[in-house]
Amino acid sequence: MPLFKHSTASTAPSTTTSRTSSESPRRSFFSSSRRSEDTQTSVSTQNTSHSSRLGGGLFNRSHDPAITAARQRIASAEAAERDADAAKMQAKRAARDAKEEARRLERQAAEEARLAKIKQKEAGNISKRARPLGRHGLA
């Protein structure tokens, strides 16, 4: 019997076993298991690249015009909502600024009214002091 040769026929009946499809075939000591792995890998790579070029067939509907149009409508609706939200925030800011300006003007007017009242009282006091003047008949 040769030392490195693989025999397919078995001489002992106890060593004969039936192989299933899930078991890998036996190889000799010098045979490469890498060759069969490379072959399997290249076949799966070819299948993958071939199916990706075809777009996956009937069930891959990503290039369907109706789907594309629906995606575009949703994207434009989302953009419109973002724009509306931004406009709403800007309107809220403008309203808040207008209210603050109105409050500031009210405070300013109240302060001016208070100062005008003080000025009026002072003018009245000065007028009272000025009444007795001119009693010497010069006027």
> pTM surpassing 0.75?
no
Examine the pLDDT at 67 and tell me if it is beyond 60: yes
Handedness of CA 40, 43, 46, 48 (dihedral sign): negative
Examine the pLDDT at 54 and tell me if it is beyond 70: no
Cβ-proximal residues to 25 (8 Å cutoff; 6+ apart), any chain: 19
The full DSSP string for the chain is: --SS---SS-SSTTS--PPPTTSPPP--TTS-HHHHHHHHHHHHHHHHHHHHHHTTGGG--TT-HHHHHHHHHHHHHHHHHHHHHHHHHHHHHHHHHHHHHHHHHHHHHHHHHHHHHHHHHHHHHHHHHHTTTTTTS--
At residue 119 the predicted structure's pLDDT band, cuts being 50, 70 and 90, is very high
* C-alpha torsion angle, residues 70, 71, 72, 76 (rounded to 10): 100
Task: Render pLDDT for 70-81 as a digit per residue (tens, 0 to 9).
Answer: 999 999 999 999
Most confident residue range from 9-13, 15-19, 98-102, 123-127? 98-102
Q: What is the mean pLDDT of the chain?
A: 76
Most confident residue range from 18-27, 34-43, 47-56, 101-110? 101-110
